[in-house]
Homo-oligomer: A and B are copies of this chain.
Amino acid sequence: MNASIITIGDEILIGQIVDTNSAWIAQELEKIGVKVLEMRSISDNKIHISNTLDCVSDKVELVIITGGLGPTSDDITKSTLCEYFGGEMIRNKNIEEHIIKLSHLRGLAMLERNLQQADVPNNCEVLFNDNGTAPGMWFEKNNTVFVSLPGVPFEMKQIMSKHVLPLIKSRFKLTAIYHRTLLTRGYFESVLADKLIDFEAELNKRVKLAYLPSPECIKLRLSSQGDKYSEIKNLVDLEADKLYSLLEQSIYGEGDEKLTQAIAKLLIAKNMTIATAESCSGGTLASLITADAGCSKYFYGSIVAYSNEIKRDILNVEEEKINKYGAVSQQVAEAMAKNVQKLYNSSFGIATTGIAGPEGGSALKPIGTVWIAVADNQDVIAKKYVFSQLRDINIIRTSYTALEMLRNFILTKK
């Protein structure tokens, strides 16, 4: 079954809000075997809406529409759909009662504008909205289903989960889809692609491989579809096993797992703790770690040392070392990692020092030069990187690379 997702609203076309509904809907449809062929964002305009429905209904069996169902004058989706499908508006008593109850609960005056939310086309199936006043609507025309939902994310999600997805599953025979997403760290995309040339050549024709790079990792997504779920699951699992053999510990997790969470698991299992000393990453490394709930179990804290004096006075890096080798050097990175481990009395210390830019670069140490070190109370390792010309990229790459080095260091400590 193929689908199209349409978002209606001028605020999206002027970039005022980012459309996150479509991605969520696509994920949910994909899980039940519905393939999204296309997403569109269009304006609150009658002709534009009708033309778009004409255009997509030839191509897909399911159209999910969000937005434009509010009580204000620029919301014209409902009346446009009513006319498009040749129906008439009638007041729905259930919805009317629900609206009166909601207004009462919220202590609001009962406006006719709000009661009109209970008017629905008489040729649709009403999908009740527990969390708001605008109901969802299910229309059918020439073998295509059109579902209209409110744009408010939590209202849309509730109607999708409670009504739309179950209805689709019960009324249509769907193709099975199976995915696995392996999260890798340690290879550049081109190097990884080279390493996987043979793998790709031998990849089962029914399984697709996609590379999805981000500053955090490169995701390798294996997917397949067919009639039998168990069969495609087997195919994908076999290929995933091969990737694990090829890439070994470069795969740190699967699905939505974060690199910080993969590290958290290792630390908790070993009852170990970390602290960070950050120069060029400036607190971003700590903020990635503290984004995870429960991090106080293994994270003690960080010292952001943005000047040589602080590196000397708080992190106890010898002034001589800074003067001799410079703040961006193997020696200073190692001292920072060792000293923060001691200072916080943690199992591991992680340090970053580099030239984030846009100023401070030199011929020998250009912008983007970063030293990262990881230490425990016995060993220390340090590595030099040259990332980019851009400050934000250098900061985020430094932070994720420090996490990668920490993970590898922990793994050597088995």
Contact = CB atoms under 8 A, between A and B. Distances in A.
A17 B296 contact: no
A266 interface: no
Given A188-B108, A283-B287, A39 B13 contact: yes
B284 A189 contact: no
Contact of A211 (B74, B221, B395): B74
A130 to B, nearest CB: 7
Contacts of A73: 200
Given A200-B73, A301-B305, A390-B131, A395 B23 contact: no
A23 B18 contact: yes
Interface string A328-349: 0000000000000001110000
Q: In the assembly, how many copies of this chain are there?
A: 2
B282 A393 contact: no
A253 interface: no
Contacts of A37: 13, 42-43, 48
A119 to B, nearest CB: 15
A212 B194 CA distance: 46
B16 A386 contact: no
A110 to B, nearest CB: 10
Given A17-B23, A212-B16, A282-B290, A105 B302 contact: no
A364 interface: no
A144 interface: no
A80 interface: no
A30 interface: yes
Contacts of A74: 210-211
Interface string A2-29: 0000000011111111111011111110
A154 B392 contact: yes
Contacts of A284: 283, 287, 290
Interface string A379-412: 0000000111111110100000000000000000
A216 to B, nearest CB: 12
A111 B108 CA distance: 65
Contact of A296 (B210, B294, B306): B306
Interface in A20-57: 20, 22-28, 30, 35-43, 48, 55
A269 interface: no
Interface string A294-312: 1110011111111101100
Contact of A301 (B210, B310, B388): B310
Nearest to A130: B389
A304 B290 contact: yes
Contacts of A166: none
A37 B73 CA distance: 20
Interface in A348-402: 356-359, 366, 368, 386-393, 395
Contacts of A36: 13-15
A217 interface: no
Contact of A302 (B27, B43, B302): B302
A414 interface: no
Interface string A261-298: 00000000000000010100011111101110111100
- The 5 closest A-B CB pairs, nearest first, are A282-B290, A283-B286, A15-B26, A15-B27, A302-B304
27 contacts: A11-B212, A12-B23, A13-B37, A14-B30, A17-B23, A19-B23, A38-B40, A40-B40, A55-B55, A70-B211, A105-B386, A106-B188, A107-B386, A111-B194, A154-B390, A278-B286, A282-B286, A283-B289, A283-B290, A290-B306, A293-B358, A300-B306, A301-B305, A301-B307, A301-B314, A303-B304, A314-B314
